[in-house]
Amino acid sequence: MVNVLETVEYVANNADDVTVNANACQSAAGEILANMKKQSYSTKTWNEPELTPKTKDQATVDWIFLVDLLNFSFWSDTDRQDSGLASSQRFTVSYKGKEYTGYWSLCAAINRAVGEGIPVTTPAYWATDEFNLDKLAYVFRSATKETVPLLSLRYDIMKQAGRVFKDKKLDSFAQILDSNKNKSALDLVATVASLFPSFKDEATYKGKNIHIYKRAQILVADIWACFDGEGYGEFADIDHVTMFADYRVPQILHDLGCLKYSEGLYKHIGGLQMIDSGDPREVELRACSIWAVELIRREMAKRDPETKVNAILIDFFLWDTAKKNQQKDYKGVSVQCHRTRSCYY
């Protein structure tokens, strides 16, 4: 059973290095709500970027599955200022005359490969001998000196997923969606985490098992948003999905005052020092981010019950805003992203 909110609330109530500021969450809720209304922010916003698929079909489902299978750890060792610019020599994908970094480098690499006739979004391909580490390195070839982080791990995860599809006699992730008869987002999260180990995003914190499930939840959310809650994207309990705890959203939550770091953690992150996956501080950063967004969501629902905004849309909005801050050279932003290398985010 997926139980994210209850377990992250435990972390928020017992954390040593990260504090959720409930008053700041209330203030942020008003600001976020006003800006989302001003921008007419909705599921349709998901389809606006040029790299996202525009068709609502099985091929798009498989594109989303591959993206979220590999949607982790795109921060750069080279780009110490986290500028997001190719000129920093960070991992960059050139596609159709443009250069993409971060998450968008993943989308661009996949689209580029498909355009070159490489069936990289086809699960059956991952289980073949033709698909090897050299092929994936080619798919992720960089326009700069820095290569894609964790290439071998990404390859292993794709091979493992390919074996699951082959063993289950499945051709497409759409078949897994079709088998979700109750149209339950949380059931699908649990199914994905049980079938594909890299999605089983859990941690042990002060003796308690903590559920985070960033990539499994964002997989469901991306399908929901892409299909605008219809067809493959119809989920009866979509509002029970939480925000997606990564390294980008905690940064903007800190800037909004929703999260407060201990002096030691603040200096550690500011010094660009690594934090291991599963370290109590890392669990606190992620769990407290989820809880802060939940408090923001509740406050938004109180202020404007007619506007249906769930944690997914809040997360998407915060992530988009954080990326805009990155493009503005982080003027006014007080903390870097934390540095953790992990397949979970």
pLDDT tens, 5-63? 999 999 999 999 999 999 999 999 999 999 999 999 999 999 999 999 999 999 999 99
Q: Residue 255, Cβ neighbours under 10 Å: how many? A: 18
* 164 assigned to some structural domain: yes
Domain membership of residue 344 (yes or no) is no
Position 122 in a domain? yes
Inter-helix orientation angle 22-38/280-303, to 10°: 60
Q: Is the pLDDT of residue 1 over 90?
A: no
Q: How far apart are CA 142 and CA 150, in angstroms?
A: 14
Does residue 115 lie within any of the structural domains? yes
Asked if residue 8 is part of any domain, the answer here is: yes
CA-based nearest residue to 84, from 333, 343, 287: 333
Whether residue 335 is contained in a domain is answered as no
pTM: 0.96
- The pLDDT of residue 327 is above 90: no
Q: How many structural domains does the chain have?
A: 1
Question: How many other CB atoms sit within 10 Å of the CB of residue 219?
Answer: 24
Please report the pLDDT score of residue 180 as a whole number.
Answer: 97
At 194 the pLDDT is: 98
- What 3-state DSSP class applies to 132? coil
Least confident range from 19-33, 71-85, 325-339: namely 325-339
* CB atoms closer than 10 angstroms to residue 127: 18
Number of H helices, E strands in the chain: 14, 6
Which residue segment(s) compose the domain that 65 sits in?
A: 4-327
Which residues are part of the catalytic machinery?
246
